[in-house]
Amino acid sequence: MRNQFREISDRIGQTSRKLFSFHATRPVLLIRGLICFILGLLGIYEPVFVLTTATRIIGGVILCAGILALLIARNNRRAMDLIWVALLFLAGFALIFWPLFFDAVVMVAAGVCLIVAALHVFLTVGRNTTPSTIPVSGFLALIVGVILVAAPFAGVAAISWVLALLLLIAGAEMLLLSLGLHPDKWFMP
């Protein structure tokens, strides 16, 4: 039984090394580039759908981690292990069934962090050690923080669009590399 698990784990490791290595072959780069490009286009046209899908995938991964933790903890039967397994299950189910709620919670938390950072910047402005650009960045952080706290779903959509643009750029680069074209020769003299 252990040999079967080890063999399956070795196969998964070899496949993941082929797919996610930095020096990937052209067909792998083509597949990765197409996936990134398609997800980028979907992210521009349906930003909330892509972010909720990503949140659900993360929830599925956490749920799988909970199942694996349950298999490991069944022999120990310690109360603390069972509590962590229960928390993993709850977090996985919550992320799968209520993804927008958790995306909004993350945006509100990010907004609160930005507000705290801006207040910290404003408290240090009176000292002679701050450059003149720090109050401007503190003011911008305060504005973004208040917007994220006031309208978290707008923050979710904005983050989705930024990620979609990054996916489009990464997908285009991988597609060019898979075709044998090297973008670094175009941008560097």
Q: Please say whether the dihedral angle defined by the alpha carbons of residues 36, 41, 44 and 50, taken in this order, is positive or negative.
A: negative
Residue 9 lies in a domain: no
34: Cβ–Cβ under 8 A, 6 or more apart, which residues? 171, 175
Residue 61 lies in a domain: yes
Residue 96 lies in a domain: yes
Residue 82 lies in a domain: yes
**77 Rama class: left (phi>0) / alpha (psi -120 to 50) / beta:** left
pLDDT number for residue 156: 78
pLDDT number for residue 76: 67
Average pLDDT of each block of 10 consecutive residues along the chain (189 residues)?
65 60 69 86 84 84 81 68 78 86 81 78 62 65 80 80 84 82 58
Residue 17 lies in a domain: no
Residue 81 lies in a domain: yes
Least Cα distance to 30 among 172, 183, 187 occurs for 172
- Full domain range(s) for residue 67: 27-183
Place of tokens 């959509």: 157
Residue 13 lies in a domain: no
Q: How far apart are CA 109 and CA 148, in angstroms?
A: 8
Residue 80 lies in a domain: yes
Q: Model-level pTM?
A: 0.56
Domain count, the chain: 1
In our burial notation (b when 16+ CB lie closer than 10 A, e otherwise), range 39-61 reads: bbebbeeebeebbbebbbebbee
